[in-house]
A = this chain, B = another copy of it.
Amino acid sequence: MLKDFLIAPGPTAVPSEVLIEMSRPIYHHRTPRFSQLFMETIELLKYLYQTKQDVFILASSGTGAMETAVVNTLSPGDSVLVVRSGKFGERWGEICEAYNVSPAYIDVEWGEAVDPKRIEDHLKEHPDVKAVFTQYTETSTGVTHDIKKISDIVSKTNALMIVDAITGLGVTKCPVDEWKLDVVICGSQKSLMLPPGLGFLSFSEKAWKANESSTLPRFYFNLKAEKKAQSNKTTAWTPAVSLIIGLHKALQMIKDEGIEEVIKRHKIIADAIRAGVGALGLELFAKSPANSVTSIKVPEGIDGLQIPKLMRDKYGIAIAGGQAQAKGKIFRIGHLGYIDKSDVAVVFQSLEFTLRELNYTFEWGSSSKAVQEVLYPEYKKLDIRKA
């Protein structure tokens, strides 16, 4: 008997509070009951996004929301700038190319963050750029980009600032209005503690202006239709009702905890994970590591594919390997969403087993020692809960 843990950079664990809500009998979506739930959920989503502008819920994965951002703001032949620092940066480019948008690329070595100066220089040289596409955190490498600094640059131009924050929102500070982010993408199976199936995006006034002249073809992912439907307290197409019921609950949990507290919790857990990794003599892959996912270099002489395989199939802990060019070279621990100190203890216990089984040398419990040193001062400060 082996308990299974999902400690991957998505999908993440779903709390029983959310599962219970999603297990209730389904109801029809063209009803006042659904309309009320839906509009409450939209308001809660605006709280998460820290925005007063529009937010949308799509029955799609995060990739669908990425495509929505492209097709609702651009026209064929438009010049755009894409930061390509990992698999998901590549995806922005692939979507643009599929729609005959013309992306220029800033290629960043995997594991590194983009230097905002490069974006500034490109925009100065190419004032016709209609949009800058980037990730907040690049899930494939575990890197965080300095979105605030990039947005400070982009927001002073005519270009839209379009951010894939699929593993950033609800993890790291991301005040959409304050930072002038035009489109911010998220998905349900990450910090939102839900199963996959929903994509989200915010859409600024500046994005709506771009929408007016945008001619890319769109039908399912038509935000004008969604905006009109939302003004009638519903969605354009059939919504994923159970997932939205779960989303309402998950967002309520986030609001009850408080977004600042949620961000702080992710920071503390990420610090603990990084400390544990370091104590095992392992090296981080990301130069500016994200608080949602920690990417770790596979130590010399070890078969990198075996680490996530043993973790999952022998020890019950689902972490992630590297993708594409990082395959076999890194492994990734996810720590976003429904995560607390206990997950840190659980993942390092089995990581120690796995590494030892692969003949990597370290002292038993050394990760725990480092983790405890980081977590204790933070947990000590907490109040005792009312029983």
Contacts and interface: CB of A to CB of B under 8 A. Distances in A.
Interface of A: 1-3, 5, 23, 253, 257, 261-262, 265, 309-310, 312-316, 338, 340-346, 348-350, 352-353, 356-357, 363-373, 375-376, 379-380, 382-387
A260 B253 CA distance: 42
Nearest to A20: B23
List the 6 closest A-B pairs by CB distance, nearest first: A365-B369, A368-B368, A365-B368, A364-B372, A345-B345, A345-B349
13 contacts: A1-B340, A3-B343, A5-B342, A313-B386, A342-B350, A345-B345, A345-B346, A349-B372, A353-B375, A353-B380, A356-B376, A364-B373, A365-B365
A261 B357 CA distance: 22
A4 to B, nearest CB: 10
A376 B310 CA distance: 13
Contact of A372 (B312, B315, B352): B352
Determine how many copies of this chain the complex contains. 2
A353 B380 CA distance: 8
A384 B310 contact: yes
Contact of A349 (B2, B363, B368, B384): B368
Contacts of A356: 376, 380
A349 B368 CA distance: 8
Contact of A387 (B312, B379, B387): B312
Contacts of A315: 341, 379
Given A315-B341, A315-B379, 16 more contacts: A1-B261, A1-B262, A2-B385, A3-B343, A312-B387, A314-B382, A314-B384, A316-B340, A316-B342, A345-B346, A345-B348, A349-B368, A353-B376, A356-B380, A364-B372, A365-B367
Contacts of A372: 349, 352-353, 364-365
Nearest to A279: B365
B357 A349 contact: no
Contact of A369 (B3, B364, B383): B364
